[in-house]
A = this chain, B = another copy of it.
């Protein structure tokens, strides 16, 4: 009686020699009750149940904690909202849904949640996210980790779909056995090129949870502005933010971390050094290097000054504060696009090269990193952009390298051969735009697949995941939600979802998932073509 749904892509445009037949209606009809990302194993049976909030009881059978009870409340609210949002679109002329046919198995009576280990306080790299879900009149959700329970509850809400006349929520009998393919599934948000409001950051976390993404990579400061409000160095944001109100206070950051934690999302801050630090120099110009042009004229400030002890004294204090605030063991310290030419142009640096027998200006980058990494707290692990690896800067073995440019396969192979872990981003830059959309290109990038044929002496599992990157040069609160979603959903699908599916099998599910995000307040744009969502 088991029946696997195949999500066949129904092509809206039908091309015969010369003819261009267009069908009316949506180009890709939405699926009904499909989980996003696609689970590793799922069976769907014909019998179905009805959601009735007066009947359904959610029972926490084993371990419990506020993260769990909050998630249960959110899930129930989502289901009630689905009915509320659909109510203006109920088709009252349609024949009443027949509920006494032999496929209707009554109202959903209960969902029993078995969390077999105590809750962890914070999500972390390598956390368990697998879960098993059995849908029946008395359903069960089981995981050995609170994070798996969160993922399972999210999937559970996806399984519900409106009846044909939209006045009921149905869920089919079935089972889901699910786990992620990659442990690190992130979204980078740049809050320096444009300030992003707290309310949008929290909405982004909501959307990430809907897509089972688990790392919010907060590229919090950069050349243009310094919105991080430091307690120890308040002038950094007072002078370096775009405006004294366009900042993230300690309380804001704690709110983000707690909101993320409740959704199984890690928050990894990036304090990009030694380049991309121009805004730090508004309050503290002494941190940066003076750059000179070919006529020996001082033309402005460049990267941090790696040959002054005071740079490291400052960084030690700042990192100490940051690491006390952000609980994740990982911290991103950047290292990309360092203006080596600036270092080279500075007379003091030229002398230093001679006096210390440096062979290349890149040695300053190595020097900087060698001095900076030990400033991090003992237990912490750094993440760096690929240049740090490319320039031969010595890195602790447990450093994760983020790949973002160049020949991505060659780059990944080099990093893997050096036995580093890496996260992939090259093909997932959300600021890159293409007419008509590009989610299939994002989806088609599978970093482990890219390298798997090339070498036997590498461990592809060291590709621990990837991140979609939202650089905000031309993105702010006005367009960030529709720019990120549902394009980042394609990355989420790739990093979690079932391996062996082609893009054409994803269209229908992405239509449904986009409408689902809209219904939950996420201003995701249309993914693929003409269509509509009711009640967005």
Listed in ascending order, the chain A residues whose CB lies under 8 Å from chain B are 14, 16-27, 88-89, 192-195, 223-226, 240, 242-243, 245-246, 278-279, 281-282, 291, 293-294, 299-302, 337, 339, 341-342, 344-345, 431-437, 472-479, 481-482, 518, 523-534, 536
Contact = CB atoms under 8 A, between A and B. Distances in A.
Contacts of A16: 291, 293-294, 299
B341 A18 contact: yes
Contact of A243 (B281, B529, B532): B532
Contacts of A431: 435-436
A332 to B, nearest CB: 20
Contact of A14 (B224, B242, B300, B474): B300
Contacts of A281: 24
A246 B532 contact: yes
Nearest to A477: B536
14 contacts: A16-B291, A16-B294, A20-B341, A21-B339, A24-B281, A26-B242, A194-B531, A194-B532, A242-B531, A475-B526, A478-B482, A478-B518, A479-B479, A479-B526
Contacts of A432: 435
A447 to B, nearest CB: 22
A444 to B, nearest CB: 18
Given A17-B341, A22-B278, A88-B245, 7 more contacts: A16-B293, A19-B299, A19-B339, A20-B339, A24-B279, A194-B526, A436-B474
Contacts of A473: 436, 526, 529-530
- Interface core residue of A21, A437, A477 (most chain B CB under 10 Å): A21
A17 B533 CA distance: 52
A526 to B, nearest CB: 5
A486 B242 CA distance: 21
B223 A22 contact: yes
Contact of A224 (B344, B433, B530): B530
A299 B223 contact: no
A243 B474 contact: no
Contacts of A433: 433-435
Nearest to A240: B24
B479 A525 contact: yes
B19 A437 contact: no
A335 to B, nearest CB: 16
Contacts of A279: 24
A431 B343 CA distance: 43
Given A20-B339, A245-B88, A437 B474 contact: yes
A20 B289 CA distance: 13
B341 A19 contact: yes
A336 to B, nearest CB: 12
Nearest to A342: B19
Contacts of A436: 431, 473-474
A534 B243 contact: yes
A478 B534 contact: no
A166 to B, nearest CB: 10
Contacts of A482: 478-479, 482
A515 B294 CA distance: 39
A181 B25 CA distance: 41
Contacts of A24: 223-226, 240, 278-279, 281-282
Contact of A21 (B243, B291, B434): B291
Given A300-B21, A432-B435, A478 B530 contact: no
A374 B282 CA distance: 70
Contact of A476 (B246, B472, B475, B526): B526
Nearest to A525: B479
A420 B335 CA distance: 60
A439 to B, nearest CB: 10
Given A482-B482, A532-B246, A475 B25 contact: no
A318 to B, nearest CB: 17
A20 B278 CA distance: 11
Nearest to A481: B478
Contacts of A18: 341, 344-345
A192 B529 CA distance: 12
Contacts of A474: 436-437, 525-529
Nearest to A91: B244
Nearest to A226: B24
Contacts of A532: 194-195, 225, 242-243, 246, 476
